[in-house]
Structure 1
Amino acid sequence: MIKINVAEIKKRLVGKKDFSYELKPAELNITEADLPLTGTVTVKGTISNAGDVLLLEAMVEAMVNRTCGRCLKAFTGKSTAEVLEKFYPASAENIENDAFIYESDIVDLMEPIRESLLLAEPLQALCRIDCQGLCPVCGADRNKGDCGCDTTTVDPRLAALKQFIKN
């Protein structure tokens, strides 16, 4: 758990506190099934007084083991997440059900940091931007060279549309 005492921040209207942490995935309650992290998770940011709420601004960085969505190679890539969240006092009224709250001048940063890191993970990661992927005919890795397969076949369901192009 990452807990910060915000008593001094709340005393000043423009009070803020900088922080920096290096955490293990287990400290953020991230399992291998959630996100296959390697090494530590770096968190740097500030928490500041924004009147009736506290504002958390942070950057989270971690190295993640991934599989390329095109060529299926395993690789390790950097994941960066930006965290921007508001924390409301537990005594506040009319706050949303999913809003982050704090009690007795202690703010727990673990959940917003964990959520941001998990949500920053792309649905389809690429080993490199220009990855050519696998050949749809023979399954060869097109990044290593041309396999020579004819990939210009037309889906038989769309063959009738080809007549319109000829006219």
Structure 2
Amino acid sequence: MIIDLSSFLDETINHIHFEEELEENSIDFGGRKIIFTEPIKCEGNIYKVDGDKLINGDIFFKYEEPCDRCLKPFIQEVKTVLSGKLIEGSGNVYDDDDFEQIIYYNNDTLDLRDAIMSQIVVSLPMKSLCSLECKGLCPRCGVDLNNNKCNCVLENVDPRLEKLKDFFPKK
């Protein structure tokens, strides 16, 4: 996703509105595989405030991933925000001391791909769940507890407290 900044930098125009789509199939990070089910959409504006060049936009994407509890794949829709300060130079997207994201541009062109992908990774939940009510799989027999019940008896005893069981008589 490349945006031409030449007319913005020579002050012919005072802001740039963009609506772009980014074609990505998937990303892998931290042992997770995120599969995008449709193109990533990004819409926003580039403008100047007190001499700084700023970007503010929305990112919309749909992805498929297996649930961390029941392992069934599900599709999730996410909207996140891309905002930061544009600086001429080269480098990766990073956060400065003022907690503001820095996005680099070169030769009057801005490539937003890395900034968008970084924001997508940050916006993903730490634990992917198909629903908050998902019961997951039985740790003993593996049955999907959302669809079936099992007769397994689970004794969840903290190993640090296991010795305390000896103080109570067995029934």
TM-score of the superposed pair, with normalisation by structure 1: 0.75
Equivalent in the alignment of 1:109: 112
* SS in structure 1 of the partner of residue 16 of structure 2: strand
Provide the identity percentage. 28
Q: Residue 9 of structure 1: CA displacement?
A: 6.5
Measured on the aligned residues, the alpha-carbon RMSD in Å equals 3.0
Q: Residue 162 of structure 1: CA displacement?
A: 4.4
Equivalent in the alignment of 1:126: 129
Equivalent in the alignment of 1:8: 8
Matched residue type, 1:159? E
Looking at structure 2, the residues matched to 61 and 113 of structure 1 have their Cα atoms a distance apart, in angstroms, of 10
The answer to whether 1:147 aligns with 2:150 is yes
Looking at structure 1, the residues matched to 130 and 102 of structure 2 have their Cα atoms a distance apart, in angstroms, of 36
Looking at structure 2, the residues matched to 55 and 80 of structure 1 have their Cα atoms a distance apart, in angstroms, of 20
Q: Which residue, out of 138, 141, 145, partners 1:135?
A: 138
Equivalent in the alignment of 1:36: 35
Conserved in 1, the CA contact under 8 Å of 2:60 and 2:78?
Answer: yes
Instruction: Give the direction of change, closer, same or farther, for the CA distance of 1:23–1:42 in structure 2 (3 Å limit).
Output: same
Instruction: Give the direction of change, closer, same or farther, for the CA distance of 1:103–1:137 in structure 2 (3 Å limit).
Output: closer
Matched residue type, 2:108? D
Equivalent in the alignment of 2:65: 66
Q: 4+ residue runs of structure 1 moved beyond 3 angstroms?
A: 30-35, 161-166
Equivalent in the alignment of 1:46: 45
Cα shift readout 1:110-143 (whole Å, capped 9, x = no counterpart): 2211211122222321011111111122111111
Conserved in 2, the CA contact under 8 Å of 1:52 and 1:88?
Answer: no
In the alignment, structure 2 segments of 5+ residues that lack a partner are: 90-95
Query: Which is bigger in relative contact order (C-alpha 8 A, separation at least 6)?
Result: 1
Q: Residue 153 of structure 1: CA displacement?
A: 4.5
Instruction: Give the direction of change, closer, same or farther, for the CA distance of 1:164–1:51 in structure 2 (3 Å limit).
Output: farther
Matched residue type, 2:43? K
Conserved in 1, the CA contact under 8 Å of 2:2 and 2:109?
Answer: no
The answer to whether 1:23 aligns with 2:22 is yes
Of Structure 1 and Structure 2, the greater strand share is in 2
Equivalent in the alignment of 1:86: 85
Matched residue type, 2:145? R
